[in-house]
Amino acid sequence: MISTVSRPAHKSASVPTRGMLRRRRLRWRRFGILLLAALMAAGLAAGLLLPHNRSAYATERFDRSTALTVTRLTGSDAASRGEARGMTGTWELDEHIDVDDLTLLHANNPTVRTLINGRDLDKTPAGWNPDHQTGDTGTGYPYGQCTWWAYTRRHELGLPVGSRFGDAKDWTASAIKLGYWVDSTPREGDIVVFQPGQQGADAVYGHVAVVEHVDADGGIRVSEANIGGQVGPFQRDITADIASKLEYIHY
């Protein structure tokens, strides 16, 4: 006698329950939110790193082989005379000091000292103190930003610069507050400040660069960073008409 054994029926494909569907929708919603947040963060980072109108800026690499140096800035003769006179920030008479030394203007910073006794003699503002506070406690600017480059380049030139001047647009006010000499006449080594929207500068942050050369007609060549989404540094020429409308932090 053949017995019949019942076999279990094959299970059909599982049908998602309402709870399962709800969990799937929740997972996809979370994924969408995370993706959107990542895209927004990337856009914000790009905006911070590229706050300029590409068409308003050149992308010529900064040529360090012909760049401004402390020697050229101060003039080798003037610099050597200052060093020979031993201007160390104290006034001590000895047999090595000439009578001419007594007429030299004092400044703790050797580059500033040479400039105010040479290139900028009788051009500094009345009552201006060359030994004002610099606000320099070490760089506080993110790598790659225009502010980072201006700070770095000024140190290369032996000139004072503040560590926390703020956004580029705030540099003029911050410098004045500390006693820096600021006006609208460009000189080699200056920090040039572009206010928001000025010559393609970011509408919120503005822009800063460093004056590498001043032409006879008042045009300038600057070095700058954070251009076209790249750190650089880069260099470009600015006409005299435009240069006359900008602000310059001397020292």
* Beta-sheet pairing, 182-183 with 191-194: unpaired
* pLDDT recorded at residue 4: 47
Question: Phi and psi of 221, rounded to 5°?
Answer: -115, 130
* Count of alpha carbons within 13 angstroms of residue 48, beta-carbon side: 11
16 versus 114: which is more confidently predicted? 114
The residues, any chain, with a CB within 8 Å of residue 207's CB and separated by 6 or more, are: 51, 52, 146, 168, 193, 194, 198, 201, 224
Q: What's the CA gap between 155 and 111, in Å, rounded?
A: 11
Most confident of 28-32, 43-47, 63-67, 136-140: 136-140
Structure tokens given for 244? 């006359």
* pLDDT recorded at residue 103: 67
If we measure between CA atoms, which residue out of 180, 156, 181 comes closest to residue 148?
156
Neighbours of 88 (CB within 10 A): 11
Neighbours of 114 (CB within 10 A): 25
Residue pair 238/219 in contact by the 8 Å Cβ criterion = yes
Q: What's the CA gap between 211 and 153, in Å, rounded?
A: 10
Cα-based distances in Å from 137 to 66, 122, 163? 30, 30, 6
Query: Can you list the pairs that 40-47 forms with residues at least 24 positions away whose Cβ atoms lie under 8 Å?
Result: 46/229
What are the tens digits of pLDDT across the range 183-225? Answer: 999 999 999 999 999 988 888 999 999 999 999 999 999 999 9
Q: Is 75 left (phi over 0), alpha (psi -120 to 50) or beta?
A: left
What are the tens digits of pLDDT across the range 47-68? Answer: 444 443 333 455 699 988 889 9
Mean of all residue pLDDT scores within the chain: 80
If we measure between CA atoms, which residue out of 142, 144, 156 comes closest to residue 225?
144
Averaged pLDDT, 114-122: 95
Structure tokens given for 173? 């006010």
Would the pTM count as exceeding 0.85? no
Structure tokens given for 214? 């001043």
